[in-house]
Amino acid sequence: MSVLPRPLDLPSFPWDQLTPYRKRAAEHPAGVCDLSIGTPVDPTPALIQDALREHADAPGYPTVIGTPELRHAILAWGKRRNMVDVGLQGVVPSIGSKEAVAWLPFLLGVRPGDTVLFPQASYPTYDISARLAGATPLPVDPTDPSSWPDAQLVWLNSPGNPDGHVLTLDELRAVVQWARSHDAVVISDECYSALAWEEPFLSEGVPSLLDERVCDGDPRSLIVLYSLSKQSNLAGYRAALMYGDPELLAPVIEVRKHSGMMVPAPVQAAMRVALEDTEHVEAQRQVYARRREILIDAIARTGLERDKDSAAGLYLWVRDPRGDFDSWQLVDAFAQRGIVVAPGDFYGEAGAGFVRVALTATDERVAEAASRLIAQPIRA
């Protein structure tokens, strides 16, 4: 009898638990309004599609580190965000940001006996990334490093998924100071940073872990991840990047060379165009802003409340103000109205009692969902 496979210590895939609620929502006579998964629904901008087509003749292997043109475009993007210049050796494209989130701890040498910290309410793959490396995952308050135990690696997510919280310059500085006093690596997933809604981030931009004012111009032990899925509707392209300490990224690049983890050449060309053009990014942000206002109004009128600290990102973080509904009861209440949302339990114990409502549905489906919530309030 073979000893293989040996299952990894991973939880069940959370989204499978939504199946019965999806079925219930689909029974609505006017169709389902899916506000659960944050997958883009708007067209990929034409200039990016054109770049993909223009570079479709790609018979040779692409480079793992990316073309010089793409790497220069990544550095220019970082400069616009006031990020420290890490040079061409400090940037590399990745096959979507989830790939980097899942495998970076392992590629950096995190192993059994190590501890990986991540935000209390957060994207489940931070936890999974520690488990894949055999390490111990531990949720913490990202705003209070003084309460953290020793660890080898820390995940940040700002703006946060699911709650839309943004870490301030002072909070990011405190994390860097903690990390350097504990010889820890910090990786900041900043994939929603182009989607700011509230001040001061709307005017000043969402601060980065590698902002000059945060790290004092020193990228040592720091990495930022970014995805073009949200800003440019490129989820289907699997187009993302790593930006940070060249000494940290060097062994990561070496493993990626050995294992063939490379972004296709046409996608690299499309990424360059997407990073260089800011007009389409702002146009898409305005689309989400309109949908957000419609859903904020409907949530309030259905008797629920949203997290007022949600200042950026693609989601509303919503709960019953009286606490009578837990996460799954709210999911069920939405499903009865033909709307699918994600239970806060997917995002850790801190998500109990919340649901995540995504802005990623068409204008028509967002308007339809809003009308249903207003016509049939959840909290009368």
pLDDT digits 0-9 by tens, 89-138:
999 999 999 999 999 999 999 999 999 999 999 999 999 999 999 999 99
pLDDT at 299 exceeding the cut of 90: yes
pLDDT at 2 exceeding the cut of 80: no
pLDDT at 234 exceeding the cut of 90: yes
Residues of the chain above pLDDT 90, percent: 94
Q: Quick: pLDDT tens for 303-340.
A: 999 999 999 999 999 999 998 999 999 999 999 999 99
Q: What is the pLDDT of residue 157?
A: 97
Whether the Cβ atoms of residue 213 and residue 61 lie closer than 8 Å to each other: no
Question: What would the mean pLDDT of 191-220 be, rounded to a whole number?
Answer: 97
pLDDT at 380 exceeding the cut of 90: no
Q: Rounded to an integer, what distance in angstroms lies between the CA atom of residue 231 and that of residue 282?
A: 8
Q: Quick: pLDDT tens for 55-80.
A: 999 999 999 999 999 999 999 999 99
pLDDT at 160 exceeding the cut of 90: yes
Q: What is the pLDDT of residue 276?
A: 97
Q: What is the pLDDT of residue 320?
A: 95
Amino acid (1-letter code) at residue 90: G
pLDDT at 175 exceeding the cut of 80: yes
Cα 218 to Cα 180, 185, 210: the distances in Å are 11, 13, 8
DSSP single-letter state for residue 341: -
Q: Rounded to an integer, what distance in angstroms lies between the CA atom of residue 175 and that of residue 179?
A: 6
Q: Rounded to an integer, what distance in angstroms lies between the CA atom of residue 358 and that of residue 63?
A: 35
Question: What would the mean pLDDT of 258-265 be, rounded to a whole number?
Answer: 95
Average pLDDT along the chain: 95
pLDDT at 6 exceeding the cut of 90: no
Measured in degrees and rounded to the nearest 5, phi and psi for residue 192 equal -105, 15
Four-point Cα dihedral 239, 242, 246, 250, nearest 10: -60
pLDDT grade for 354, boundaries at 50, 70 and 90: very high
The answer for residues whose C-beta is within 8 angstroms of residue 31's C-beta and 6 or more apart is 338, 368
DSSP single-letter state for residue 155: E
Q: What is the pLDDT of residue 15?
A: 83
pLDDT at 33 exceeding the cut of 70: yes
Q: What is the pLDDT of residue 1?
A: 63
Question: What would the mean pLDDT of 32-61 be, rounded to a whole number?
Answer: 96
pTM: 0.95
